[in-house]
Structure 1
């Protein structure tokens, strides 16, 4: 039998309150604030994403979701201590927002297909930004997002008002242009200029992923995992020979890398 959600949520809120108690709480938890906890919140969100991309295993996902929920409870508790709002206000706010953004479910509007609903969702979000006096096309895109994700979101917003490349092939042309600009800066090796040009190159790559309906952050997550997997294979092969990477030549490691790549293709 599964635990009662309401009872367990109340228990979690009580745990958080006791951790933050000024007299009997945990010394570490007592001194935290929004700024010090925010990095953990981001980290836990990534842990959830990582658990999902890995498989997901139910027990691992359960644990990671719990860690993320604790972050929400933590921030809500600190806000309550300041007299701003409590966890109930947080839950009420998101419930009301979801009802407002889904009139086809909670209202009288006819059922929509996914595409039409996405358009309606974006219109509702735009109206909410106007209510908050966020009138610019790019307003409301959180600056704390991972840079690749934020680049895709910024250009997605711009695309809604017609500021976009016509297709992925056009983005590839732009990518070649930006790569040439990086190449032109290599001789001078001016770090300021190189930083600017490499940034432009990454920004266009994020756009390319968006035009292909891919999440650039997850593309890079996959590439990181692939590199880690293949390099570990190179290390393992060298270790079997009684050597380390530092004792091998680049050509030898390249051969082992290609062999690892071929094994993956054949698997």
Structure 2
């Protein structure tokens, strides 16, 4: 099917729903916001699972939300879908002077640096970090902060330096604890040092091309899968996990690793 025909069909359906459906008529940008966030996470899950069928479905859901926002924008006489699309096209052309202009770049890193410089100039931000959304999850935000700082040349030169910083921060964190009692000497200070450890680990992950958010989510999924295997085995024995010893549970946990 022609892309334009398919997109026009979606726009027409959106118009009809906004006019005739009680639920769609009631929605605002504010009421859609949390739903959009949920849909984005569902797309993220599908991507991590490598499920192309689900990815296609979730992209459709997100596309609907984008069209919905544009519809509401047009009702407010603020903007319409054409302005949204032309806006992103104009931005892409502006931020790719090595494609649509006479700027020369040697590699991907120079492209990213030019992008951040142009973005800073366009938005008029007083800080390079001004474009990092305040509501981003902390782990993602740490990554974006570091990437933006790198965009203007503020970064480590070698990954060995970054790992040395990780070890330094881990030592500082350890010093906040009584190693025998495993109790925080100063909870606030220990929390601050733990944050430094996480930030430095995110930094190192970036240097070895690992996305920390993706890495942690894969570990979350792995733990869930193994724990549910453990629950299943306990059920087969007619037991509750709370009635099993750690030694008994560990047998099934090791099995789960191989499953």
Unaligned 5+ segments in structure 2 are none
The 8 Å contact of residues 175 and 204 in structure 1, kept in 2 or not, is answered as no
Q: Distance in 2 between matches of 1:182 and 1:63?
A: 49
Q: Residue 78 of structure 2 is aligned with which of 84, 95, 117?
A: 84
Report the Cα distance in structure 1 between the residues aligned to 2:171 and 2:188, rounded to whole angstroms: 21
Equivalent residues in 2 for 1:118-129, closer than 5 Å:
118-128=112-122
Deviates more, 1:181-190 or 1:206-215: 181-190
Aligned position for 2:225: 229
Q: Which residue of 2 aligns with 1:13?
A: 11
> Whole-Å Cα distance in 2 between the matches of residues 95 and 111 of structure 1?
21
Q: 1:234–1:260: 8 Å Cα contact kept in structure 2?
A: yes
Aligned to 1:218: 214
Verify: 1:162 aligned to 2:154, yes or no: yes
Shift in CA distance, 195/81, structure 1 to aligned 2, threshold 3 Å: farther
Range moving further from structure 2, 242-251 or 72-81: 242-251
Deviation sequence 1:127-173 (CA, Å, 0-9, x none): 22xxx331212111012222210011113333445365932232232
* 1:254 lines up with 2:255 in the alignment: no
- For residue 27 of structure 1, report the CA deviation from its aligned partner: 2.1
For the residue of structure 2 that corresponds to 1:138, the secondary structure is: helix
Give, in whole Å, the separation in 2 of the partners of 1:84 and 1:260: 55
2:89 match: 95
The TM-score, its normalising length taken from structure 2, stands at 0.84
Deviation at 1:253, TM superposition (A): 1.4
Instruction: Give, in whole Å, the separation in 1 of the partners of 2:188 and 2:22.
Output: 44
Corresponding residue number in structure 2 for 1:31 = 26
2:172 to 163, 177, 180: 177
Q: TM-score, normalised by structure 1?
A: 0.82
**1:116 and 1:151 mapped to 2: Cα distance?**
21
Q: CA contact under 8 A between 2:176 and 2:190: conserved in structure 1?
A: no
- Of residues 181-190 and 9-18 in structure 1, the stretch that sits farther from structure 2 once superposed is 181-190
Answering whether residue 36 of structure 2 is matched by residue 41 of structure 1, we say yes
CA 1:111/1:223 → structure 2, altered by over 3 Å: closer, same or farther?
A: same
Cα RMSD after superposing both structures: 2.8
What CA distance in whole angstroms lies between the structure 2 residues aligned with 1:136 and 1:168?
27
Figure out how many residues of one structure are paired with residues of the other and give that number.
254
Q: Following the alignment from structure 2 to structure 1, what is the Cα–Cα distance between the partners of residues 177 and 195?
A: 10
* Contact kept in structure 1, 2:177 and 2:185, CA below 8 Å: no
Alpha-carbon distance in 2 for matches of 1:74, 1:195: 42
DSSP-derived class of the 2:129 partner: coil
41 and 228 in structure 1: CA distance in 2 versus 1, 3 angstrom threshold: same
Counterpart-to-counterpart distance in 1, 2:165 and 2:103: 39
